[in-house]
């Protein structure tokens, strides 16, 4: 599994990846726990959908994957993201889950 080089990580791809609630939840878990298994406990998402979300995160350069026997463990590339886009990850993680979603038309 080839990783993107730090300089090849594009802001648009990172923002797209972080814009999905499931992927944001995965990122938050990795930020708190350090690593995540392919199918983390407590996340009610089909395995095929999780595979898609992990692929988007890895393709955007947000995560890296390592093999541990038969398992795959994902980690957040925090240092690379912080170096490439200073403050972005902290801002996204700081805001996640703090604001109540608004209904369409609400200000």
- In the chain the domains, ranked by start, together with CATH numbers, are 6-95 (1.10.10.10)
pTM of the full structure: 0.77
pLDDT at res. 2: 55
pLDDT at res. 100: 44
pLDDT at res. 5: 63
pLDDT at res. 93: 87
pLDDT at res. 53: 93
Q: What whole-number distance in Å separates Cα of residue 101 and Cα of residue 107?
A: 11
SS (H, E, C) the chain: CCCCCHHHCCHHHHHHHHCCHHHHHHHHHHHHHCEEECCCCCCCCCHHHHHHHHHHHHHHCCEEEEEECCEEEEEECHHHHHHHCCCHHHHHHHHCCCCCCCCCCCC
pLDDT at res. 107: 46
pLDDT at res. 4: 59
For 64, half-sphere exposure in the C-beta direction (CA atoms, 13 angstrom radius) is 13
pLDDT of the chain, 107 residues: tens digit per residue: 456 565 677 888 999 999 999 999 999 989 988 888 887 777 788 888 888 999 999 999 999 988 888 888 999 999 999 999 999 999 988 854 454 444 454 44
């Amino acid at each position: 599994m080839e990783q993107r080089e730090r300089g090849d990580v594009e802001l648009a791809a990172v923002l797209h990846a972080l814009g999905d609630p499931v992927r944001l939840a995965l990122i938050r878990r990795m930020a708190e726990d350090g690593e995540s298994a392919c199918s983390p406990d407590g996340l009610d998402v089909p395995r095929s959908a999780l595979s898609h979300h992990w692929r988007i995160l890895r393709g955007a350069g947000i995560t890296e994957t390592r093999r541990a026997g038969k398992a795959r463990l994902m980690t957040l590339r925090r240092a690379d993201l912080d170096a490439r886009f200073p403050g972005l990850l902290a801002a996204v993680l700081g805001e996640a889950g703090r604001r109540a979603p608004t209904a369409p038309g609400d200000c």
